[in-house]
Structure 1
Amino acid sequence: MTKRERVYRAIAHKEADRVPKGELYIDPSLANSLLKKDYPLDYFHFQRDIEVRELLGIDMINLGDWPTEELGEDEEGNKIYRSNYREEYIFNDKSKHIIKPGLMNIEDAENYPIPDITKCSGKLIKRFAEETDLFVFAQIGGPISMINEMLGMEDYMIYTMTNTKEIRILAEKIMEYEIAKAKLFIDNGANAILIADDMAYNTSTFLPLHIMDEVAFPYYKIAVEEIKKHKDVPVFLHTDGNINNVLGKITDCGFDGLQSLQPSAGMEIEQVKKDFGKDLCLMGNIDLDYVMTFGSVQEVEETIKRTIDIAAPGGGFILSTCNILVDVIPPENALAMYNTAHNYGIYTR
């Protein structure tokens, strides 16, 4: 069975030959440690990203296209960039700090220009789709994270309460662009679309539900409908945090799958599988707060086996961490996770 067939069967809630495996991203430093090579630490590197997935037996890759313009440097030598959403920021290889929001006055939301889709090429998606057998997820943004990034989180959260109308106007413009990206990615060979839109803390959603009903859920539904109207590909949602109270709303938006299921935020995969496993393909749930980062190899192996026992029967499950393979994960733990999944996650055993 091919990698793509394996993932497609999971999304269709069918058992394959083995449980499909994958990550939204693998940190370049960790990839080099695993491969014992010194590939460039570029965000994407074709050969590095293929080799590390071959080593781990991974079935998929998640790619995107985030155009930026380099504007110069600040006094400390940090590079200054402008994103396609118009915010200007400093990035020091570890964190992003906004120095000028994408919109200076929220009252001017009507005049905010839709980001320029011609700056996106889809070439990376096309190359992986044509030159590898990996199942290709293509990532776009959502109405929470993208506006949050362009305005700054504090201002965004205040404006959702004080200027809800203007946030909705921005959401419409941003999602018109993100949907256009999704269509471009599909035309370049993407097998599925992933909308990445963090909406929750470890205890609950950032925003009250009545605000989410205005600034988030309607735009997810439109995005899923428009993407599938273009081509009927699977559409997943990624969000960290505790989203137990909105799982029904997420399902109602038409998503085919959900990635993260952060266990340290109270996302119990056994209960989620029971309540929503018929509607959503579940992806993730392997803990990054302790198990993968500080746990022993034995703890990793036990966690993988237990998660497979709970979530894999009947299909509808893709094994991954609850976010990405971060650089602080010991290489032996990453190997233990994926070797155990490969050997234990066989449906015919």
Structure 2
Amino acid sequence: MTHIERVRVALAGGRPDRVPRGEFALEPGLVAALVRREKAGTAAGAGDLSSSWRTDAAFPGHTTRRNPGASFQSEIAARELLGMDLLAVTPAAPVAEQGSDSYQDAWGCRYTNRGKLKVFLAPAIPDIGAAAGYTLPDPASFDLQAIRRWREETDFFVLAFVDGPFQGTGRLFDFTEFLLAAAAREGVIKELAAAVADFNLELARLCRQAGAHGIIIGDDIAYDRGTYIRPDLWRELFLPLLRCQVEGLKEMDLPVLYHSDGNLQAVLPDLAGLPLDGLQGLEPAAGMDIGAVKREYGEKLCLMGNFDLDLLVTGNPDTITAAVHSLLDVAAPGGGYIFSTACGILHASLPPENVLALYRAVDEYGRYQ
């Protein structure tokens, strides 16, 4: 099977030739470390670190066309080394205003750079009173070249990230003020959230035209103890808009995953009632038991994630391998599962030997009997 075929089968609830796997993003520092290790191993006579993985059915037909661009090619190499099938690309928002020490993005949020850190300075909407006059950016102004390049030059399954109505509205405010306004049922919040859902539906349409195979709706509605606002309030203000957004994406014939960190137990029935193809995240530190979720919703949703990123920091290859085995024992049977960490992002600070151990263990245990 190709990467694309493998992911599509899993998203449809089926059982591909092996468990699909991948992370949405790899930070450049980790990419560089993985590529250096591979080159060093080859130079020392140890051979390609991924050579044992590429002798099986996971890689036939891989037709990556390599063009100039060192960082792009390095990320391809790192993803191939780990045997990944997919990635996700966030449409690049243009910079609306550039100052000497700060800049304003297309949304109107102001940031500054301190070394390698992007530091938030001010929200797009300073207070609830200013929300009625706010205008969303033009979706056509967003840069989709990265989606085109991954689609045209590789054979990975390419997901495009767009916001959901909760996250997309909350990003415009000081988050505490947003939560208080939602709790007070300020009418402007629902109006703005409706505009955000429409905006992201149009942005997703453009992502599809650029070559995205599927969409992931990023909509962090929860923390480790539950949803940020009461579940009944979320159902009232945001769930109908989320349904419209998902239904619009399905009309475009796109598979759709939903991502949120945190504990989603109270709203899982609501999410399962949407025409979603999958649910990504399932954060174990927030009490998300993937075995229980699969038993209850595995016939409806493809599940993706659930590996605890913290274990990549604190663990070692042996503990990581054991954790992968335990996860796949409950998540993989029957299909309808895609392996990833819960957050879907591998940071530059992670020990590369642990990342390699993680994906070697997935390759070993992610085989159907």
Return the TM-score normalized by structure 2: 0.87
Residue pair 2:92, 2:143 contacting (<8 A) in 1 also: no
Residue pair 2:25, 2:88 contacting (<8 A) in 1 also: yes
Instruction: Name the SS of the counterpart of 2:226 in structure 1.
Output: coil
Taking the TM superposition and a 5 Å limit, the aligned residue runs for 1:190-269 are 190-229=212-251, 231-269=252-290
Residue pair 2:27, 2:347 contacting (<8 A) in 1 also: yes
1:286 aligns with one of 307, 311, 322: 307
Residue pair 1:125, 1:185 contacting (<8 A) in 2 also: yes
Q: Deviations over 1:28-49 (max 9, x none)?
A: 1111111118xxxxxx942222
Q: Deviations over 1:69-107 (max 9, x none)?
A: 152243xxxxx22122212223433343232x2123423
2:99 maps to amino acid: G
How many equivalent pairs are there? Answer: 334
1:94 maps to amino acid: L
1:26 maps to amino acid: L
1:12 maps to amino acid: A
CA distance in 1, matches of 2:186, 2:113: 29
1:330 maps to amino acid: P
Q: Deviations over 1:90-141 (max 9, x none)?
A: 3433343232x21234234333213211212422111111211100111001
Which residue in the other structure is 2:120 paired with?
A: 97
Residue pair 1:288, 1:322 contacting (<8 A) in 2 also: yes
CA distance in 1, matches of 2:230, 2:161: 26
Which residue in the other structure is 2:53 paired with?
A: none
Q: Deviations over 1:239-279 (max 9, x none)?
A: 11111111111111221111111101100110010011111
2:350 maps to amino acid: I
Which residue in the other structure is 1:304 paired with?
A: 324
CA distance in 1, matches of 2:206, 2:150: 15
Which residue in the other structure is 1:169 paired with?
A: 191
Q: CA deviation at 1:344?
A: 1.9
Bigger Cα displacement from structure 2, 213-222 vs 165-174 = 213-222
Which residue in the other structure is 1:64 paired with?
A: 90
1:276 aligns with one of 282, 290, 297: 297
Instruction: Name the SS of the counterpart of 1:30 in structure 2.
Output: helix
Q: Deviations over 1:296-317 (max 9, x none)?
A: 1111001111111111111110
Instruction: Name the SS of the counterpart of 1:320 in structure 2.
Output: coil
Which residue in the other structure is 2:155 paired with?
A: 133
CA distance in 2, matches of 1:7, 1:96: 35
Give the aligned CA root-mean-square deviation in angstroms: 1.7
Q: Give yes or no for the alignment of 1:88 onto 2:88.
A: no
Residue pair 1:138, 1:182 contacting (<8 A) in 2 also: yes
2:23 maps to amino acid: E
1:198 maps to amino acid: D
Cα distance 1:328–1:121, how it changes in 2: closer, same or farther (>3 A)?
Answer: closer
1:64 maps to amino acid: T
Cα distance 1:227–1:221, how it changes in 2: closer, same or farther (>3 A)?
Answer: same
Which residue in the other structure is 2:42 paired with?
A: none
1:96 maps to amino acid: V
Residue pair 2:18, 2:366 contacting (<8 A) in 1 also: yes
1:27 maps to amino acid: E
Cα distance 1:96–1:144, how it changes in 2: closer, same or farther (>3 A)?
Answer: farther
**Percentage identity across paired residues of the two chains:** 36
Residue pair 1:115, 1:174 contacting (<8 A) in 2 also: no
CA distance in 2, matches of 1:249, 1:17: 31
2:317 maps to amino acid: V
Residue pair 1:106, 1:163 contacting (<8 A) in 2 also: no
CA distance in 1, matches of 2:263, 2:329: 23
5+ residue gaps, structure 1, are 38-43, 75-79
Return the TM-score normalized by structure 1: 0.91
Cα distance 1:98–1:147, how it changes in 2: closer, same or farther (>3 A)?
Answer: farther
CA distance in 2, matches of 1:314, 1:34: 32
Residue pair 1:282, 1:317 contacting (<8 A) in 2 also: yes
Name which one, 1 or 2, has greater alpha-carbon Rg: 2
CA distance in 1, matches of 2:9, 2:295: 19
Instruction: Name the SS of the counterpart of 1:89 in structure 2.
Output: strand
CA distance in 2, matches of 1:206, 1:83: 26
Which residue in the other structure is 2:139 paired with?
A: 117
